[in-house]
Amino acid sequence: MRTDVRQVADGTYLVHGSNTNWVILTEGETATLIDTGYPGDRQQLLDSLDAVGSSPQAVAAVLITHAHNDHLGSAEYLRDTYGTPVHLHEAEVPHARREFLHQVSVGQVLRNGWRPGVLPWVVHALRVGGTAHVPVAAPEPFPAAGPLDLPGRPVPVHTPGHTRGHAVFHLPDTGVVVSGDALVSGHRTSRIQGPQLLPDMFHHERAQALASLEILERLEADVLLPGHGPVHRGSVRQAAQRAREHAL
């Protein structure tokens, strides 16, 4: 499968994997990797690093928005193979170790199977490791508050709801927000186009996910790089407001 890598700003790349995106931030060959796709996306992940002039050995850190399989997929592989540190919000660290799992259940999927797009999404998710056991053996909380000393100088921002420790990453220097699943621009199970919350079945605490849109509204940025869907250009504040309108 061809790897879809799109440069959205200097040293900032959005990569479309199989139904899930990840982001690469570069300084020369050194890179920060935000999310890693499904376990089955590994070759695409490695190809995307090569496409931007980097390599798995040159990844300074893996930052994870949240520990669902479609974002965590190759994090342990990179940590175990290359010694790459894997960082999440402190509330998400035990989730990454799989001390518990806050993920859509089989029962929830079956109850929503009548909705357009749900069954094809399930088939694809199963094929690429959506139910695989991929814990990170030694995940670490973010090392400091504020900008991280990594390529892109990402600033973690806690946005709970989709999971308890979900975080987005603000890139003030380039006016970008990497939003994971706190705010997306499309999904195979949604008929909405543009900024939106994921369908309700995917959220651990839907009311909290809705409240976290207010946090996103306060971030000064005009480019949104979501965990699902295409890049969204325009005020992130307005994008979050639009998502709230769709959700109410």
pLDDT tens, per residue, the chain with 248 residues: 678 999 999 999 999 998 999 999 999 999 999 999 999 999 999 999 999 999 999 999 999 999 999 999 999 999 999 999 999 999 999 999 999 998 877 677 777 777 788 888 888 888 899 889 999 999 999 998 899 999 999 999 999 999 999 999 999 999 999 999 999 999 988 888 899 999 998 999 999 999 999 999 999 999 999 999 999 999 999 999 999 999 97
pTM: 0.95
> What is the distance between the alpha carbons of residues 178 and 241, in angstroms, rounded to a whole number?
17
Query: Amino acid letter at 236?
Result: V
Name the nearest CA neighbour of 170 among 181, 183, 155, 158. Answer: 155
Question: How confident is the model at residue 102, as a pLDDT?
Answer: 87
- Output the CA–CA distances (angstroms, integers) from residue 36 to 11, 142, 241, in the order listed: 18, 17, 28
Residue position matching structure tokens 């940590």: 79
Q: Give the pLDDT score at 1.
A: 61
Which phi and psi (to 5°) does residue 25 adopt? -115, 130
The dihedral region occupied by 28, where left means phi > 0, alpha psi between -120 and 50, and beta the remainder, is left
Q: What share of the chain is helix, strand, coil (3-state, %, to 5)?
A: 30, 20, 50
Q: What is the pLDDT of residue 15?
A: 98
Q: Contact at 8 Å (CB) between 131 and 25?
A: no
Question: 232 and 239 in contact (C-beta within 8 Å)?
Answer: yes
Sign of CA dihedral 195, 200, 202, 203: positive
The beta strand positions in the chain, using DSSP E, are: 4-9, 12-16, 21-27, 30-34, 59-63, 86-88, 140-141, 155-158, 167-171, 176-180, 223-226, 232-233
